[in-house]
Amino acid sequence: MALATLDFGWLNLVGILVGGFAYFMLGALWYMKLFSSRWVEATGRAPEDFEGDGPGAGMLLMLGGCFVTTAVIAIVYQWGGGETILDGLAVGILLGVGIAAVEGMKAAVYNFDERVKPWALYAVNGSYTVCGLALAGLAYGLIV
């Protein structure tokens, strides 16, 4: 199917919203509970450096980004003829591993800040991205 023939009206807005919100909430859990100390250490900053940083505009920007990403997952799902929850999961994993994780590797390879532990940071950030995209795809496939 050519990109020009995609029927964007077929995209499920509820699926995009649920998938995007699930991706965003996984990030909150990932960075605030599961891997917070590992992530802070890998950034080369002290925990005190993050005190007073409120959610603010950055969190809203990330939420919007999660919705945009899930919309792209939905388009690839449709483009590939997706019909099941496992198709959604597969699309999320493929985009996560094949694009996001590889592109994220650039920061580790070309890091010039001696305070940062680039591969540790990549492990936390990259694994979140792959898991988040898989979750968003899974949620989208479930709703559709």
Q: Are 79 and 88 in contact (CB under 8 A)?
A: no
Assess if residue 35 is contained within a domain.
yes
Assess if residue 7 is contained within a domain.
no
Q: How many domains does the chain have?
A: 1
- 17-74 pLDDT per residue, tens: 999 999 999 999 999 899 999 999 998 888 877 776 666 778 899 999 999 999 999 9
Assess if residue 3 is contained within a domain.
no
Q: Is 113 helix (H, G, I), strand (E, B) or coil?
A: coil
63: containing domain: 12-46+55-143
For residues 87 and 82, what is the distance between their CA atoms, to the nearest angstrom?
A: 5
Assess if residue 36 is contained within a domain.
yes
The pTM score is 0.88
